Amino acid sequence: MRKVKNALKRHGINKVKVGTSMAMDVLESSYPPSNGTFRSDIATRVVKPMLQFLNRTKSFYFLDVYPYFPWSDNPKSINLDYALFESRNITVTDPGTGLVYHNLFDQMVDANIFAMARLGYPDIRVWIAETGWPNGGDYDQIGANIYNAATYNRNVVKKFLAKPTVGTPARPGKVLPSFIFALYNENQKPGPGTERHFGLLYPNGTSIYEIQLDGEVPKLGYKPLPKPTNNEPYKGKIWCVVAKRANGTAVGAAMSYACSQGNKTCDSIQKGKECYRPNSLVRHASYAFSSYWAQFKKLGGSCYFDGLATQTIKDPSYGSCKFPSITL
């Protein structure tokens, strides 16, 4: 950041602010917000000199704020309406400050503000570099749907554009410049299904749901949204199988990788074993993907394989061949 700022200065460009985006995992404590504390492994070595730079150059603390993730990790303790800016009667009072919170977004932002103050920088401005809610995801990803995504993004836009400016409980009335993430569903992005479903538009440019970014359309001014079906955790078995239209050569390589991992991952598809027949690449790879995922999901393994695999709740087992699964 120093080098970029110096380069801009050499070219006479003085109005560009330089910063870097921070995720919520830079905090080791975020609740209550007044207890916000940067992780001990980066607080002194990384964050403090960065805050010094931001303060000296009058730049912003750029922050990614996704209430979806803490809510989906703990839906029994965090009310969904509180995460979606929909709560009317739910409040959280910070015992350290007495500040009252009406939504999860404000809690998350203020935790970072208090963390900065704890390092001696209470006044650096915050810019929301990313915020949004996924409009779809995998079977094991609760609450990722069009209804919740539209509700969250419409409400957060209203918050950002409210007049007079709302700010947060720790900084009432302060402007929060912000970006919505994202414009398009990134359909080729790796990782869990939600990673490909944060857009306002499909990759072909059509709208996923109605939204006006001027914040002036009332809720009743939009067409009805499809009712959510996954706001409660899916209860049942899930398998990981080869996706439609997956490239055969790539599937073969992915199967080889899956079979090389874990304990007896692909024993059942060896010649003479119960899942060898029919000798089909798709069936063998689907077994390998399911077996791999069943072993490694708890360790962070995903059912993706560079877009070659997809989750299913339809049991692909047949005869004496039983495919491994995960149970939520």
Active site residues: 130, 186, 189, 195
Q: Which residues of 287-313 are buried (b: 16+ CB within 10 A; e: fewer)?
A: bbbbbbbbbbbeeebbbbbebbbbbbe
Closest CA to 265 of 243, 235, 295: 295
Burial label for 186, CB within 10 Å (0-12, 13-18, 19+), is middle
Name residues whose C-beta falls within 8 Å of residue 7's C-beta, 6 or more positions apart in sequence.
none
Q: Are strands 60-65 and 21-22 parallel, antiparallel or unpaired?
A: parallel
Closest CA to 171 of 128, 94, 218, 114: 114
Handedness of CA 22, 114, 66, 230 (dihedral sign): positive
What's the rounded Cα separation, in Å, for the pair 234 and 142?
7
What's the rounded Cα separation, in Å, for the pair 93 and 162?
23
Closest CA to 292 of 318, 319, 258: 258
Pair of tokens at residue 125: 């401005």
Burial label for 86, CB within 10 Å (0-12, 13-18, 19+), is middle
Closest CA to 134 of 62, 186, 73, 204: 186
**Do 98 and 104 form a contact (C-beta atoms < 8 A)?**
no
What's the rounded Cα separation, in Å, for the pair 98 and 92?
10
Length of the chain in residues, anyone? 328
